């Protein structure tokens, strides 16, 4: 079991460092985000989860501003902060996981360790192009929604311990 976890962590770190070591493909606009979500629909579960993990890790470098006047994405003086339109919402076992600009990288890394086929049996996707998304979820669906169904209900506690929640509000 430990070698599987170590192998997964190494794989995610390798893919992340390879992706970011070259020129990371930041997803900054709503159009890019919708294309990314639509591309996930064609992948098998393991690849969907890997793509979501990579996206979560790369998104740690993206600062989302709801509104900015010139609509230009700017990097800070160090060149490591990029501004984007938004990130998809993540719903695990019916609970929205809030991942915003204030989320600590350690929490995101812990989350990516849980996004495996051991814990997740199905990925459901709604892009913001789908009229149902905004009608059902309002502004939380503005950039699409990723629904993750657990293999066992008891695993939800592991996700809840990450403390990425929205006041316990549950969508079913």
Rounded to two decimals, what is the model's pTM? 0.74
pLDDT given for residue 80 in this prediction: 56
Helix (H) or strand (E) segment spanning residue 107: helix 105-114
Q: Give the Cβ contact number of residue 143 at 10 Å.
A: 21
pLDDT for res 122 = 95
Q: Tell me, what's the pLDDT at 24? A: 58
Rg (the chain; Cα; Å): 16
User: Per-residue confidence of the chain (172 residues) as pLDDT tens digits?
Assistant: 545 544 454 454 544 444 444 445 787 778 888 899 999 999 999 999 999 999 888 887 776 665 544 444 444 445 555 666 778 889 998 888 878 777 888 889 999 999 999 999 999 998 888 888 888 888 888 888 999 999 998 998 898 888 886 544 444 4
pLDDT confidence of residue 29: 78
- Nearest 5°: the CA angle 152, 148, 14 is 100
The span from the CA of 76 to the CA of 86, in Å, is 18
């Amino acid at each position: 079991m430990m070698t599987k976890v170590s192998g997964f962590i190494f794989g995610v770190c390798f893919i992340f460092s390879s992706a970011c070591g070259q020129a990371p493909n930041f997803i900054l606009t709503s159009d890019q985000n919708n294309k990314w979500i639509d591309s996930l629909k064609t992948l098998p579960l393991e690849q969907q989860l890997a793509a979501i993990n990579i996206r979560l890790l790369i998104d740690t470098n993206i600062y989302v501003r709801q509104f900015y006047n010139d609509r230009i994405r700017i990097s800070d003086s160090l060149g490591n902060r990029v501004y984007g339109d938004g990130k998809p919402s993540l719903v695990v076992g019916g609970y929205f996981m809030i991942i915003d600009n204030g989320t600590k990288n350690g929490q995101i890394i812990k989350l990516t360790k849980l996004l495996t086929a051991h814990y997740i049996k199905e990925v459901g996707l709604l892009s913001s192009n789908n009229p149902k998304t905004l009608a059902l979820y309002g502004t939380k669906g503005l950039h699409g929604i990723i629904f993750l169904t657990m293999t066992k209900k008891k695993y939800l506690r592991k996700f809840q311990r990450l403390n990425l929640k929205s006041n316990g509000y549950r969508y079913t």
